[in-house]
Every structure is written in structure tokens, then in C-alpha cells.
């Protein structure tokens, strides 16, 4: 089987959840499915070709997204179509934040190739509506959301299947009449992210998560990892941190790992607070794993996530989580591994942080939770099952070797 991933969400020279997903996918095919041929077509600073494990990555020179220097738009769809024709994949997976489903369907017309959409970004409710409310007022936010739903429908209509990673998004799309839905949770690299990762490196401050019990005599290490973008609502985290400091019950330190278009604004908000540290971006790998493992608590205020790999990486590292009670984290964070806070509420985030810190021994199931439900191998085994079912529906005899999946009913959950 030959598989092509076509996406505009890959960040060339940077880090993102989609980068992690595709990197781990390439690793999985190389290590677990050597009979699968895999290529990626992604935007980049320059047109080129390189290898990632056994996967061939084609970068297509693409313009930057206005106002966001990290994102590029795969605007040269003719070049993408040419590569699709040359590579002749059996299955194409596209992100549904752009018109790439139509690009793939048109480029491979007549070849009976299924197009699988992956719903990485929820534009209507998580992006369009709050952005419109912020910039042009609540009066027009509903209009923006309705237009975004129409756009999503355009992006989706050429897909044989639409894969979502969380129950929250599955239900939102189902309520809008979207069909052929497949819920496949994402995963985490359990060999990389582990509780003992901090002991293998000595460059990071912190107490390590293994002895976090809320003692008043030590500094509690709070951590955020991710892009510094408006939709992440990091101002809520900084405000919550200030509230904790003002109460004076314990000493806290906040490390913000990542970069993005609002970093300067966040640094201004933090002011001269000595216990808030902006470290910049950290590449995916051992150094990042050590940062997770040295923390006491991950705090993730974004209410706009379709899933959250950051939450999984913390849990695999044995670190409990406080996240917004909205979007993808609601299906990951259970009472055994953390707490969910009211979205956009610094007061509730501060309260939930104090709750977890004061009762740290109650949240000891983090690593076990990740191991039981979220290994990447589990994700990609099931994704190959989705590909096989789409090929079978088109009468194609090609198979990946994954176990067959039951496709009775309108929507299916693969947990």
C-alpha cells in the first residue's frame, strides 16, 4: 500500500501538533509496517525533497500566512497535484482546514483513490467565532461561525471518510449532519516521554514530578508547552499565576515553552515577574521530554483544541494536568490524572491548580492512563483499518495488513 499525507498544517522549521503526528506516523511505518510506502506533501520555505525515517517528504515553496510567520499556505496546488500523480498513492490523507480534499480528488480522478480527511482544526466554534467577537464584536460572531461551517463543508465534501480525534469534535460534527465520521484518538511516544526522563539530563531546574506532594516549603513547577497564539488564551494562565502568587499559600514557578505571534504581548503582561520564564521553542525530543518530567503540573488553558498532544505528553511523563473544560482535553483528563477548569476563567484555573497541588497523591494514575489508552501504535493500527475500509468500499483489493474494522452505522468510534 502507498499512502500520501497532503497537508498545509506542517510547520517547516518549527514545531506543531501536526508535525508530531506526521513524524510519529513516519516512525510507525518504518518500524511496524515496512511494506507501506509513505510520502508527505507539505508547505515549506523552499521546494525540496528529504527523508524522515523511511518516508519521503516533498516541500512545496509556499507563502507565509499573513500575521503568522510560522504558518505557510500550500498555495501552489498545481505542484501538489503533479506530485500526487507522480507518486500514485493508493490512499491520500488530507487535513480539512483547506481545500486539499478537492485537490487530491481532482488530481487522481479516474484512479479510484479514496481521500481520507483528518479534522485537526475546528474552525467554526474554536477559531472563527471567538476571532470575530474579538475583532468586530459579538454581533458578527454568529455570522462568522456560519460562514466557517460552510467552508468546512466545502473542504469535507470530497472525503470518503472524516477522521476526528476526540468525542467532543465528533459530536459537534455529528450534530451538524456530517457523516462518514471515524473517531481515532491520537497517541504519545511512551519511550520518549516518561517519568524518569528528567534524571537523564541535568540542564533543567525543577523538583521532578515523582515527589510532588504539595509541600509548602518548595517551589511548585507549573508548565505550559505549545504555540504562543491568541487562541491558546495564555493570558488566562498568566492571570491565574498572579492570583496564586498573591495568595501566598505556596511558592510557584511558571515555565512557558514555545514561541508564536503573541510572545511579546505575553511577556509584557508578565512584566517583571521573576517566576515566569519564557524559554522559547524546544524541539521534539529528549530535551522536551526532560522538561515535562521535571514539572509538577501541566496547565493548559486553551479551550480551542480538537485533541491535545501536550496533555498526553505530560501524562506519559507522570505529570497531572489542569486543562480547560472544553474541546479535546475533556475526553483525556479524568479525575485520576487531573482537573478541568472553567474556560477563560483565571479564578477557576487558580483554584484547580491549588486543588491538584494540595492532593497530589490522588493523581498518581497519569502514566498508566497514557500507557493503557494512548500509544501511537494503537492510533496508527486503527488508522490503517480506516484506510482498508475506504479501499474496500471502493472495491479495491489492496490491504495494509491491519485488522478489519466494523463499519456498520453512520459514525464509528475507534477507542
Cα distance between residue 413 and residue 415, in whole Å: 6
* pLDDT confidence of residue 413: 45
Q: Which domain range does residue 301 map to?
A: 197-372
pTM: 0.89
Placement of cell 506526521 in the chain: 22
Cα distance between residue 161 and residue 182, in whole Å: 7
The CATH number assigned to the domain holding 175 equals: 3.40.50.2000
Q: Are residues 254 and 347 in the same domain?
A: yes
Does residue 71 belong to any structural domain of this protein?
A: yes
Give the C-alpha distances (Å, rounded to integers) separating 166 from 172, 388, 395: 10, 21, 29
Give the C-alpha distances (Å, rounded to integers) separating 55 from 24, 204, 321, 347, 402: 11, 33, 34, 46, 19
8 A C-beta contact, residue 209 and residue 295? yes
Q: Are residues 246 and 312 in the same domain?
A: yes
Does residue 66 belong to any structural domain of this protein?
A: yes
Nearest CA-CA partner of 399 in 86, 95, 36, 151: 36
* pLDDT confidence of residue 216: 55
Cα distance between residue 88 and residue 23, in whole Å: 22
Does residue 340 belong to any structural domain of this protein?
A: yes
8 A C-beta contact, residue 115 and residue 5? no
Q: Are residues 108 and 204 in the same domain?
A: no
Does residue 130 belong to any structural domain of this protein?
A: no
Three-state DSSP at 180 gives coil
Q: Are residues 281 and 381 in the same domain?
A: no
* pLDDT confidence of residue 140: 72
How many separate helices (H) and strands (E) can be counted in the chain? 13, 17
How many domains are there within the chain? Answer: 2
CA angle 103-107-110, nearest 5°? 130
User: What contacts 383, CB < 8 A, 6 or more positions away?
Assistant: 163, 184
86-135 tens-digit pLDDT: 999 999 999 998 999 999 999 999 999 999 999 999 888 777 766 776 66
Low-confidence ranges of the chain (pLDDT < 70): 129-130, 133-135, 137-139, 199-216, 401-415
Q: Are residues 76 and 174 in the same domain?
A: yes
Does residue 361 belong to any structural domain of this protein?
A: yes
* pLDDT confidence of residue 243: 96
Does residue 153 belong to any structural domain of this protein?
A: no
Amino acid at each position: 500500500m502507498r499512502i500520501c499525507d497532503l497537508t498545509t498544517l506542517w510547520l517547516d522549521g518549527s514545531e506543531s501538533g501536526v508535525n508530531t503526528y506526521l513524524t510519529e506516523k513516519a516512525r510507525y511505518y518504518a518500524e511496524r509496517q515496512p511494506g507501506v510506502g509513505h510520502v508527505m506533501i507539505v508547505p515549506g520555505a523552499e521546494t525540496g525533497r528529504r527523508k524522515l525515517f523511511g518516508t519521503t517528504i516533498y516541500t512545496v515553496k509556499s507563502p507565509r500566512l499573513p500575521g503568522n510567520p510560522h504558518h505557510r499556505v500550500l498555495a501552489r496546488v498545481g505542484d501538489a497535484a503533479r506530485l500526487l500523480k507522480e507518486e500514485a498513492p493508493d490512499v491520500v490523507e488530507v487535513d480539512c482546514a483547506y481545500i486539499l480534499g478537492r485537490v487530491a480528488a481532482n488530481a487522481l480522478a479516474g484512479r479510484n483513490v479514496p481521500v481520507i480527511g483528518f479534522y485537526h482544526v475546528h474552525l467554526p466554534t474554536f477559531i472563527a467565532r471567538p476571532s470575530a467577537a474579538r475583532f468586530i464584536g459579538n454581533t458578527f460572531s454568529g455570522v462568522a461561525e456560519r460562514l466557517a461551517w460552510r467552508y468546512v463543508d466545502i473542504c469535507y465534501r470530497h472525503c470518503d471518510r472524516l477522521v476526528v480525534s476526540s468525542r467532543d469534535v465528533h459530536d459537534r460534527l455529528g450534530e451538524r449532519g456530517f457523516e462518514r465520521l471515524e473517531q481515532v484518538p491520537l497517541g504519545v511516544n511512551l519511550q520518549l516521554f516518561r517519568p524518569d526522563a528528567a534524571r537523564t539530563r541535568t540542564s533543567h531546574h525543577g523538583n521532578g514530578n515523582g515527589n510532588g506532594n504539595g509541600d509548602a516549603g518548595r517551589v511548585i513547577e507549573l508548565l505550559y508547552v505549545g504555540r504562543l497564539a491568541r487562541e491558546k488564551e495564555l493570558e488566562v494562565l498568566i492571570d491565574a499565576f498572579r492570583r496564586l502568587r498573591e495568595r501566598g499559600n505556596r511558592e510557584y514557578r511558571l515555565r512557558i515553552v514555545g514561541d508564536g505571534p503573541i510572545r511579546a504581548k505575553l511577556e509584557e503582561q508578565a512584566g517583571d515577574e521573576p517566576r515566569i520564564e519564557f524559554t522559547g521553542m524546544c524541539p521534539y525530543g529528549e530535551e522536551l521530554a526532560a522538561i515535562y518530567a521535571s514539572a509538577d503540573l501541566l496547565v493548559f488553558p486553551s479551550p480551542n483544541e480538537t485533541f491535545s498532544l501536550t496533555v498526553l505528553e505530560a501524562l506519559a511523563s507522570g505529570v497531572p494536568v489542569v486543562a480547560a473544560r472544553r474541546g479535546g482535553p475533556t475526553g483525556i483528563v479524568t479525575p485520576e490524572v487531573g482537573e478541568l477548569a472553567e474556560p477563560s476563567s483565571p479564578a477557576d484555573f487558580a483554584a484547580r491548580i491549588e486543588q491538584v497541588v494540595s492532593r497530589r497523591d490522588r493523581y498518581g494514575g497519569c502514566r498508566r492512563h497514557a500507557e493503557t489508552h494512548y500509544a501511537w501504535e494503537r492510533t496508527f493500527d486503527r488508522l490503517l483499518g480506516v484506510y482498508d475500509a475506504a479501499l474496500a468500499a471502493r472495491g479495491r483489493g489492496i490491504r495494509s495488513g491491519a485488522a478489519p474494522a466494523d463499519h456498520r452505522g453512520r459514525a464509528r468510534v475507534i477507542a
